[in-house]
Amino acid sequence: MTPESHRRSWVASANEHPDFPLQNLPFGVFSTADEPPRGGVAIGDLILDMLVALEADLFSQHVQRAARVAAQPHLNAFFALEMAERRALREELTELLEEASPQRDRMQALGDTLLRPIAACQMHLPARIGDYTDFYVGIHHAVNVGKLFRPDNPLLPNYKYVPIGYHGRASTIDISGAPVRRPNGQTLPPGQNEPVFGPSKRLDYELEIGVWIGQGNARGESIPIAEASQHIAGLCLLNDWSARDIQAWEYQPLGPFLSKSFATTVSPWVVMAEALEPFRCAQPARPAGDPQPLSYLLDPTDQETGALDVELEVLLLTATMREQNLPAQRIALSNTLNMYWTLAQLVTHHSVNGCSLQPGDLFGSGTLSGEQPDSYGSLLEITLGGKKPLTLASGETRTFLEDGDEVILRARCHRQGYPSIGFGECRGVVQPAR
């Protein structure tokens, strides 16, 4: 049997594809001009239409149930399956799409009825999002932001004991490519004692990963740390747009509110947990002197294999750069290894008080900055709160985002001897305030 890392597809664009080789096969929801939304799987530059594949009887009886729910216009029921069922479907899809597939001729005969060009399709949110929680697990971001407000005490004592998070707004989560409207709100101008109302002048992005919850838990029951990874369906990219001036005025004493709830953008493809297994690694050791997690958050297996090695990238494309035909400029390169807590720890902590999680719930990781300025995941950090403007290739400068700016997030996993696995892009263009 061909090793997983060497398997190739009869879909030519999948081989050497930076994001969607045969080893990835992320799930999403798409539509075409004349057909409604349905589930699909990315393979190279194409989308395998799960509904057409079902109608063509391409799947064995063993995976029929999983294939049916993966073809629906919302993937909540697919996320709710046991990991073994999702894994079996993914393995069968791999066999269907690999070079030596016995079904190759049948599938090729279906042509673009079965395999749709991604560029010709519209992507939709993968699931109905019942709840959205944004965490704060990027320790370098937490330190950098803390220094802006508390230079002598950047991290509050609870940070290294508790995976900090807040309940976000699910109704304003949108898919990559949707416009982002600059929000209006109250701000307190420097040197004044009373707030004013108007458009945010300190609009920012935040580089995050999104976590799609699979099977949930009954209300009143918690998810043990040793089982928590089984409740994660997959990951995406997430941009937690932030109005820093509104945030600075409103965040005490209860934290983020209107400064965060106006827009969150996610990438359309769900990179399944099974596809990410080759990129699992040990959770980075905590610095000397840091406390160990409390017992309900500590599991040896999770510490040994609960981290992920995913490269994260931020690019900025301004209106002027588009006019000058300049490419988007990379302004940050980071990694998920900058997470202070594992994904399993987030799941367990969220449920430990009996809070019920549901299939299709979404977590944000919090901004995943690295230690160096070229790895910072927000303009707030890059520009030191607006004090040190960022200079772009076009000659422009930025302290915060301006109308017409487009933020592009990318993520890829790399491993020696294994094809790269990508997340696609998470894009959003800033529109003027109403």
Neighbour count for residue 286 (Cβ, 10 Å): 13
Question: In this predicted structure, what is the pLDDT of residue 3?
Answer: 78
Give percent of the chain above pLDDT 70: 100
* Each residue's pLDDT tens digit, 353-400: 999 999 999 999 999 999 999 999 999 999 999 999 999 999 999 999
Is 286 annotated as belonging to a binding site? Answer: no
Question: Which tokens go with 44?
Answer: 């190279």
Cα 391 from Cα 383, distance rounded (Å): 10
Cα 361 from Cα 120, distance rounded (Å): 28
Residues 6 or more apart in contact with residue 176 via CB below 8 angstroms? 123, 237, 265, 266, 267, 268, 424, 425, 426, 427, 428
Is 192 annotated as belonging to a binding site? Answer: no
* Each residue's pLDDT tens digit, 293-336: 999 999 999 999 999 999 999 999 999 999 999 999 999 999 99
Phi first, then psi: give them for residue 314, nearest 5 degrees: -120, 130
Is 95 annotated as belonging to a binding site? Answer: no
Domain residue limits, the chain: 4-124, 132-431
DSSP 126-161: SS--S-EEEE--BHHHHHHHHHHH-TT--S-GGGGT
For 132-431, give the CATH class.
Answer: alpha beta
Cα 426 from Cα 44, distance rounded (Å): 17
Cα 315 from Cα 393, distance rounded (Å): 12
Is 374 annotated as belonging to a binding site? Answer: no
* Each residue's pLDDT tens digit, 150-206: 888 889 999 999 999 999 999 999 999 999 999 999 999 999 999 999 999 999 999
Confidence of residue 70 (pLDDT cuts 50, 70, 90): very high
**Choices 3.40.50.620, 3.40.630.10, 3.40.50.720, 2.30.30.230: CATH for 4-124:** 2.30.30.230
Confidence of residue 1 (pLDDT cuts 50, 70, 90): low
Cα 80 from Cα 307, distance rounded (Å): 23
Is 406 annotated as belonging to a binding site? Answer: no
Q: pTM to 2 decimals? A: 0.97
Active-site residue, 414 included: no
Question: Which tokens go with 48?
Answer: 């395998």
Q: Of 17, 124, 141, 231, which one is the catalytic site residue?
A: 141
